[in-house]
Each structure stands twice: as structure tokens, then as C-alpha cells.
Chains A and B, each alone.
Chain A
Amino acid sequence: MGHIGKQTITFDNPPIITCAYASAGPKEVQGPLGEYFDNKLQDELLGEDSWEKAESKLIRQTVQGLLSKANKTPQDIKYLFAGDLQNQVIASTFGLLDFNIPFFGLYGACSTMGESMCLAAMTVAGGMADLVMAGTSSHYCAAEKQFRFPLEYGGQRTMTQQWTATASGFVLIGNSGTGPKIQAVTPGKMVDLGIKDTFNMGAAMAPAAIDTILTHLEDTNQKPSDFDAIVTGDLGNCGLDIAVDIANKLGTDLSGVINDCGKLIYDDAAEDTHCGGSGCGCSGSVFAGYFYSQLIKRNIKKLLLVPTGALMSPGSTQQGHTIPGVAHAVSIVID
């Protein structure tokens, strides 16, 4: 066990993802993966009076759902790794407050599912805990309000824009039990190729995704075809095309094996989402809902999950900063 190559960590006793639970909003449930979400929301407010409170409730429902699905109590969970897109990760704070589980609040933009799973796996594999929880969420309306315009503002979305998913995914990671195992993780470097367009996040994140994927392959001495699927977080349609293109230019052919949670979650033509989905909850719910079930059914036996994040705030882009990307790889196998 330990550090290999440039930045990868492998585990001798691979931590096990013993259970996963996904919640998704009405628009996400209408999409092609609708049937795979455990908790299908009827409306985006969840009976609350603000988007922010609704996202906290979404998290609460997801964690509660995961605990009952796994037949566990909050006391069984030693640590909780979670984050979201709201300022000061406040959705996670109020969503998780009442569970009384020691809490690491994380911000990795939309890469948070990867970041939380990396840290959770390292905690379990290092013998610091027998069972931990990792997860994330995002809410379309809360994200629009914070990063873009008031929801009812009548502006026009650009063709490269993606739709922030109203969704949440949480997983249990432990040192015993059955389920897919986390063989290795590659925490990603921040990569910045100079993108400033906040309406083209896929372009901002694609270089980080490719940097992490190629580094993982090199560190672990594998090739793309060793995986049944390499799945990025939320590059979207345009970002995924860019990712395949730049991987080719660097001498690695990923076409055929690579896919993207943001590309999968919506029917773009019918749902008018333009370039696909985004948000922490996109990769969180698509992994916990769709890909986890595919692993359990052995339709996929080896998966490289690479959630991707665009590191910016409304203020940083207004001050002329570029948008660096970050991506964390989690290599998951099932016997």
C-alpha cells in the first residue's frame, strides 16, 4: 500500500463501497437514467421555502436513505466527508447537522464526489476507521442564484452552457462487507489552460480530467482498455469531445471507453439542457445511482470514476481570473 508513481495511492486491503444511494430532482428523473435513482423528488423545493434549505433537505434525505438501505445508524459511521456548491458549503452543514457524525466539509467544486471518496478510502485503508460516508449534492436553483442570475430572470442560455443537476449521491465505504472495491486513487493537480468563459465549464475542466486520467494510467502502468469504463464527472458534451481530442494529441486514444456523467444524465434535445449536466450532484448521483448498480450487476467490472471541478467564484471571474480545473480519479473494481 502507498504512494506509487507521481501522485497515485494504491491499497493492499482495498476499501469496499458497501452501499450507495442517489436522490434526483424531477428534471433528472425524466432523463435517461431516471429509473436508477433511489429517491425521486416530486418538486425542487421539497416543501421548504428556499432553494438553499431545499438542498440541505435533499442531503438529509439522501443520507437517511443510505443509512436505512444499508441498515446502519449514524453511530456506525465514524467520519463523514461531504461538500456542495453553496458558499461555505452551507448546504452540507445544515443537511448533516442532526446526524452527529464527525464531519469533514469539503470544497472541490464539482469534483467533490471524487475528493470525498479519495479521502474516505484513504481513511479506511489507513486503518483510521472501519466505516465512513462520502458524498455530495447540488441544486440547480441554488446554483443559478449564487453563480448566475435570479431564477426567473429572462436571459438566454448559451449553447455551451450545462445544467446544474438537482441531485445528491452518498456512499458507504468500509473495511468489510461486500461490494465493489476501491483499488487506487489519484488525487488531481489543478490545471489551467487559460479558459475564462464561465458558460463553458467543460472546456475549463477537460485538461484537468485528461491530466488525472493519463497520470493514473501511467502511475499504475495500465492502458485505457484495461477499464470497462472511464467516466468523467461533468465535462458535458462539448467538454468530453475536447477531452478525447486533447488525449489524442497527447498520444492516448480514449474514444470508446470514456464517457461522462454530465453527458448521460439528461436527454439534451428533449430537456433543452444544451451541453449536458453539471454540479457536484451530477457525478454523485450518476455514480451512486447508475454506475454502482452496473458494478453490482457486473455489467461493468472495472471503472475509473473521475469527477471534475471548475475552480472559480463569481468574483474571481469578474476580476479577470481564469478558471482552473481539478479532477480526482477513483479506480473501482468488482470480482
Chain B
Amino acid sequence: MANIKQLKSQYQQIVKSHSPKNNVLRNSLRAFWVGGTICIIGQALTNVYMFYGMEREDAKMLMTVTLILLSTILTALNVYDNIGQYAGAGALVPITGFANSMVSSAMEFKKEGYIYGLGAKLFVVAGPVIVFGTIASVVVGIIYYLV
């Protein structure tokens, strides 16, 4: 019988030829309009808060908190994962994506208790962003000090 291992050298090529491709153009358009819409909502919230007399800095802070709250509620209502499936990076990159990654972890792991479950695994998705974000900010800070 022919040995299957003889195909090893060409196997990656065989797999590639049969694997369906991601539709990059469609995904990019969806990411653009959903991500853009989230940003427009953020700007609109800032304008509304300023209209009611807030300072720009305070309004921006409250806008951030509002978007996090919205993302949290949408995650809890099992809606945000569908937005993520549709929009990809458009739903992942804005601060709503960060909130979603923490709330979804909290929902999933609270069954294992508040200490070893929720507490220990809250950052299971978001952890790398914080770790490497902090390291990057230290590096930038040093460069800024020297320059």
C-alpha cells in the first residue's frame, strides 16, 4: 500500500488548495463601518456631555465609561459576540472589545468560584494587552525622557 507519509512534503500545499479563504475585502469593509460607528457613538456622547456643560476632559472620561458600560451590557445579553463575529477587528480594537474580553471571561469562569475562577481568569484574554501595553509605555517613557 502507498505510504501516506510520502505526501508530507506536499501536504501543506494540498491543504492550502482546499481551504476556503477569508474574504479580506468584505471583512475589512465590515470592520471599517462597525468600528467607525462605535467611534462616532463615542464622539456623539462626548459632544452631548459637553453640551450639558462638562469640560472636554471630563466628557471624554465619561464617554469612555459609557462605552465600556454599553459593551458590558451587550456582552451580558449575548449580543456582543455576534457583533464580533460580523465585524472582526472593528469590534475588537475599540475599548468596547477590551471590556467584552473581560466580561466574557468573568461570565465563563465565575462557575469555578470568585477566587480561582473569576478572579484568577478575568484577564485570560485581556492579560497580554495589559502586560505588553505596560511594557510598551515604559519603553516609550524612557525614549521620551532621553529625547
Q: Are A150 and B4 in contact (CB under 8 A)?
A: no
| CB-defined contacts of A241 to chain B, threshold 8 Å | 18
Q: Are B125 and A156 in contact (CB under 8 A)?
A: no
Q: Are A203 and B19 in contact (CB under 8 A)?
A: yes
Query: Which residues does B use to contact A, with CB under 8 Å?
Result: 1-2, 4-5, 7-8, 11-12, 14-15, 17-23, 27, 75-76, 78, 80-85, 87-89, 91-92, 97, 100-101, 103-105, 107-109, 111, 124-125
Which A92-149 residues have C-beta < 8 A from chain B?
145, 149
Cα of A162 to Cα of B108 in the assembled complex, Å: 21
Tell me if B's interface is mostly helix, strand, loop or mixed.
helix
A296 at the interface (CB under 8 A from B): no
| CB-defined contacts of B22 to chain A, threshold 8 Å | 158-159
| CB-defined contacts of A250 to chain B, threshold 8 Å | 1-2, 4, 7
Q: Are A194 and B8 in contact (CB under 8 A)?
A: yes
A210 at the interface (CB under 8 A from B): yes
| CB-defined contacts of A274 to chain B, threshold 8 Å | 20
Q: Are B2 and A214 in contact (CB under 8 A)?
A: yes
- Smallest CB-CB separation from B89: which chain A residue? A156
Q: Are B5 and A151 in contact (CB under 8 A)?
A: no
Cα of A276 to Cα of B17 in the assembled complex, Å: 18
Of the A-B pairs whose beta carbons lie under 8 Å apart in the complex, a sample of 24, sorted by A's number, is A150-B105, A150-B124, A151-B107, A153-B104, A154-B81, A154-B84, A154-B85, A154-B91, A156-B92, A157-B85, A158-B22, A191-B4, A193-B5, A194-B11, A211-B4, A214-B4, A238-B18, A242-B15, A246-B7, A246-B14, A249-B7, A249-B14, A250-B2, A275-B20
B80 contact from A149, A152, A242, A251, Cβ within 8 A: A152
Of A193, A238, A250, most buried by chain B (CB within 10 Å of CB) is A193
Q: Are B11 and A152 in contact (CB under 8 A)?
A: no
- Smallest CB-CB separation from A208: which chain B residue? B4
| CB-defined contacts of B109 to chain A, threshold 8 Å | 150
A50 at the interface (CB under 8 A from B): yes
Q: How far is the CB of A207 from chain B (nearest CB, A)?
A: 5
Q: Are A251 and B2 in contact (CB under 8 A)?
A: yes
- Smallest CB-CB separation from B80: which chain A residue? A154
Cα of A295 to Cα of B87 in the assembled complex, Å: 44
| CB-defined contacts of A249 to chain B, threshold 8 Å | 7, 14
Q: Are B104 and A210 in contact (CB under 8 A)?
A: no
Q: Are B104 and A152 in contact (CB under 8 A)?
A: yes
- Smallest CB-CB separation from A191: which chain B residue? B4
Q: Are A50 and B18 in contact (CB under 8 A)?
A: no
A312 at the interface (CB under 8 A from B): no
- Smallest CB-CB separation from A141: which chain B residue? B108
Q: Are B8 and A150 in contact (CB under 8 A)?
A: no
The answer to whether residues A215 and B1 also contact, given A154-B91, A245-B14 and a CB cut-off of 8 A, is yes
Q: Are B8 and A153 in contact (CB under 8 A)?
A: no
Cα of A156 to Cα of B24 in the assembled complex, Å: 13
B4 contact from A154, A156, A157, A246, Cβ within 8 A: A246
Q: Are A193 and B7 in contact (CB under 8 A)?
A: yes
- Smallest CB-CB separation from A251: which chain B residue? B2
Cα of A151 to Cα of B2 in the assembled complex, Å: 43
- Smallest CB-CB separation from A145: which chain B residue? B108
Closest CB pairs A-B (n = 6)? A154-B84, A150-B108, A152-B104, A250-B2, A150-B104, A156-B88
Assuming A154-B104, A242-B14, what are 16 further A-B pairs, CB within 8 angstroms?
A: A50-B111, A52-B111, A150-B124, A151-B81, A153-B81, A153-B104, A153-B105, A154-B80, A154-B84, A154-B97, A203-B19, A214-B4, A215-B1, A238-B18, A238-B20, A246-B7
